[in-house]
Amino acid sequence: MPHSQAYDELPATMKALALMEPNEQISLSELLLPVPTVQHNELLVKVEYVGLNPVDAIFAKQGFCKWHYPHILGHDAVGVVVQANKGIFPGVGERVMWHASIGGQGVLSQYTTVPNFAVSVVPNELSASQAATLPCSGMTALIALDKLQLSEGDTILIDAGAGGVGQFAIQFAKQRGATVFATASKHNHKLLKQLGADAVFDYHDAKLCEKIRRELGPQGFDAVLDAIGFDTTIRNIELMRFCGRISCLNPLPKFEQELMFRRAPNIGIVSLGGAWLANSLCAQQKMSFMGNMLLDNAARGEIRLPDIHSVDFSAASVSTALNKQVAGGFTGKQIVQISAD
């Protein structure tokens, strides 16, 4: 059922977690800021939960060219609409989920605004915290698989299969009829098998490529979801068939000309934040459609969600959580509770 909150109940100020400047320690500050006001087709949302992602931690350390400081962190949010202009859908009381603009202020605040066309309405079958696990990882996985144009019977390698993107990609690749190979630390192999992976390999193994070829055969992969980048991208192209397809989530390395001629890979770059940076209304609306698909699959129990690790809404707790994101070896989804369901 929709939640309700009258306009006159809205406070004048709100708590937010902000980065005063990029720093290696990801030191954050707790600020008291004015509650934003809606413009045109925007929604004012009382934020309930925020999902943390590796990209949040990376940019907190390095900064981002479009940011102004202090900068509120966070991109994945779920909350209840508390204010909207007349005729705007979703209306007041609806619970919504979205992935926020990478170029604007983030969502680690008690209230925030978002264009109405970029959100998805959360079904009653899912809790707000469950929905907060979906946007960045789930949408990135869907975009990557769309670029790979998977057909039934294709073979795909999914790197970093235990990460958020990897877990969703394994499940959606199986829905599309692919044979899924994945890499992960050995202690995560059982999880990836449960998600549907047909074969899982330890990415620490010095004989990784040899073992993959022994299992796969001489033909090479039809498709690769390259979640790590750099030298791993070169290795993955070597494992592909001639004219195979690869979706890359990170910057490309410098390729040797001989490798490009020998493999002739079809390289796709995945940029979820590009929908906002390119100011593409069509791409932003597609994020809403992808959100609907993720929520529908989750509500019907057709995809398994990552395990949730709760994080307090405090500068110290979120800083610790973001540092954990980039330290490696973390499985599951860290979710910051801003307000109760």
For the chain, which domains are there? Answer: 7-133+280-337 (3.90.180.10), 148-269 (3.40.50.720)
> CA-CA distances (angstroms) from residue 260 to 40, 42, 230, 244, 252?
48, 46, 15, 11, 13
Q: How far apart are CA 263 and CA 244, in angstroms?
A: 8
The answer to whether 229 touches 253, Cβ cutoff 8 Å, is: yes
Residue 322 in this model has a pLDDT that exceeds 60: yes
Place of tokens 């708590």: 15
Please state, as a whole number, how many other Cβ atoms lie within 10 Å of the Cβ of residue 235: 16
Q: How far apart are CA 242 and CA 266, in angstroms?
A: 9
Burial class of residue 8 in the structure, from the number of CB atoms within 10 Å of its CB (0-12 exposed, 13-18 middle, 19+ buried): exposed
Contacts of 7 (CB under 8 A, 6+ apart): 82, 83
Contacts of 247 (CB under 8 A, 6+ apart): 143, 144, 145, 147, 148, 223, 224, 225, 226, 268, 269, 270
Structure pTM? 0.95
Residue type, 70: P
Which residue in 293, 252, 243 sits closest to 271, CA to CA?
A: 252
Strand order in the sheet with 155-158: 199-202, 179-184, 155-158, 221-226, 240-248, 266-269
Residue type, 63: G
pLDDT of residue 7: 52
Average pLDDT of the chain is: 95
Q: Rounded to the nearest 5 degrees, what angle is found at the Cα of 54, between the Cα atoms of 49 and 60?
A: 90
* pLDDT per residue as tens digits for the range 41-68: 999 999 999 999 999 999 999 999 999 9
Residue 37 in this model has a pLDDT that exceeds 60: yes
- DSSP per residue over 266-311, as a string? EEEE--STHHHHTT-HHHHHHHHHHHHHHHHHHHTT-SPPPPEEEE
Q: How far apart are CA 87 and CA 119, in angstroms?
A: 16
Residue 95 in this model has a pLDDT that exceeds 70: yes
Residue 94 in this model has a pLDDT that exceeds 60: yes
Give the rounded distance of the alpha carbon of 104 from its chain centre: 17
3-state secondary structure labels for all residues of 100-138: CCCCCCCCCECEEEEEHHHCEECCCCCCHHHHCCCHHHH
Residue 286 in this model has a pLDDT that exceeds 70: yes
* pLDDT per residue as tens digits for the range 114-156: 999 999 999 999 999 999 999 999 999 999 999 999 999 999 9
Mean pLDDT of 103-109: 97
pLDDT of residue 321: 97
Which residue in 305, 328, 330 sits closest to 78, CA to CA?
A: 305
* pLDDT per residue as tens digits for the range 204-227: 999 999 999 999 998 999 999 999
Please state, as a whole number, how many other Cβ atoms lie within 10 Å of the Cβ of residue 331: 17
pLDDT of residue 327: 87
Give the rounded distance of the alpha carbon of 137 from its chain centre: 3
Predicted confidence band of residue 340 (pLDDT cuts 50, 70, 90): low
Percent of the chain with pLDDT over 90: 94
